[in-house]
Amino acid sequence: MKIAVLAKVVPDYEVPAGDFELAGNRAHARYTRMIGLYDENAIETGIQLKEKYGATLGIVSYGQSEDVPILRKAIAMGGDSLHLVLGESDDPYVIASNLKIALEQLQDVDLVLAGQQSADLDRGVVHGVLAEMLGCTFLAQISRIESDQGRWTVCQNHESGSRMLQFSGKAVLSITSSPENVPRIPAVRAIMAAKKKPVEKLQGTDAPPMQVEEVKVEIPKLESVCEFLPFEDMQETSRMLLARLREERYL
């Protein structure tokens, strides 16, 4: 069994709103870079499958050489090999075409896992486009995966419940976070070993981008409006607070 996990290096996804700023329509370069939140869930899911079914696990990324030290974490967590396609595009079609190069190089990948959406652009489209390009099944929001006699059984999470699905053949799955796939902390020995692992760097391709133009990028301005509620009766104040929160659509 061969599994590939797509991992993207993104700017810190926990930068407080008040501190967030753009430079050239993207997050400022001063923010620390790290593997995306859901991508780590996907890596964890991949490692669990590797441990359970003896699969090999390749980590595939599209980005720049500077991302390599960050991506090594995926190897330290349990990935077997790291493949980086070099490129800088933000276009989902270009990214998918480039990731396809690495997947083809890996040959016969049974399952491609990816975080349900990247932590920077939050689009959640690349894996769908990639599945289309690879001509295989695409399922989103998957939290659990099992394999039995060539068939996959997966659990698809929804806001209000879950669905069990079965399919056979190759697939691209977008992985959501669940209590079962909390990313593990790599052991120090694994971190040390990961630092020495060779990385396969592949030249990216200039695939035609989607015919979409980015006109403007805006981030909400942080505003704080302070409103004091009268405090005489605690229960009454709680009721008022609840009503106000609903009114403002926070709840």
Partner 1 sequence: MRVPYWNIDYGFLIDILAIPALAVFLSGLYGHYRKIRKGSERLKTRSDKLPWKFGPVFVRSVLTKGILGTVIYRKFYTGLAHGSVFWGMLVLGLGTTLAFANLIAKVPVFSGSFNRWFMAFGLDLAGVCVLAGLLFFLLRRLFPPDRLVTPRERSGFFPMACLLAVILVTGFLIEGMRIRASAPELGSFVGNFVAGLIPGSDHITSYHRYLWWFHGLLALAFVVYIPYSPMVHMVLAPINTALADPRPGPKMGVIDFSRFDDESGEEMPSMGVAKLADFSRKRLLDFDTCLWCGRCHEVCPAAQTQQPLSPKMVMATLAGFLSANDFTDDSLADAIGVDALFNCTTCAACMEACPVSINQPKAIMKLRQNLAMERSELPELMSKAYNSLEQRRHPFFGTGSGPKDWQKGIDVPIFAPGQTEYLLWVGCAATYDERAQKVARAMVKILSAAGVSFGILSKPRCTGDPAKQIGNEFLFTEIAQENIAEFDELGIQKIITLCPHCFNSFTRHYPELGGHYEVIPHSVLIGELIAARRLVPEKSDESICLHDPCYLARRNHIEDPPRLALEAVGRLVEMPRSKRESFCCGGGGGNYWSESSGVRINQVRAKEALDTNTDVIATACPFCLLMLTDGAKKYTEDQKVFDIAELIAARLNLN
Where helices occur in 54-197 by DSSP H, the ranges are 68-77, 92-106, 126-134, 188-196
Which of residues 23, 158, 189, 231 is near partner 1 by CB under 8 A? 189
* CA nearest neighbour of 79 among 249, 210, 222, 193: 193
Tell me the window of 2-10, 131-139, 179-187, 242-250 that interacts with partner 1 (CB under 8 A).
179-187
Q: Which of 34, 59, 84, 103 binds partner 1 (CB under 8 A)?
A: 34
- Tokens standing for 99? 């990731």
**Contact flag: residue 16 with partner 1 (CB under 8 A):** yes
Q: Check residue 184 for interaction with partner 1 (CB under 8 A).
A: yes
201 counts as binding partner 1 under rule CB under 8 A: no
Residue 40 · residue 115 · CB < 8 Å: yes
Measured at the CA of 49, the angle between CA 46 and CA 54, to 5 degrees, comes to 120
Minimum Å gap between C-beta 32 and partner 1 is 5
The minimum distance between CB 37 and partner 1, in angstroms, equals 11
Region from 3-11, 45-53, 159-167, 187-195 binding partner 1, contact rule CB under 8 A = 187-195
Determine the Cα–Cα distance for residues 187 and 120; give it in Å rounded to an integer: 27
Look up residue 110 and give its DSSP letter. Answer: S
Query: Which residues lie near partner 1 (CB under 8 A)?
Result: 12, 14-16, 18-19, 32, 34, 184-189, 191-192
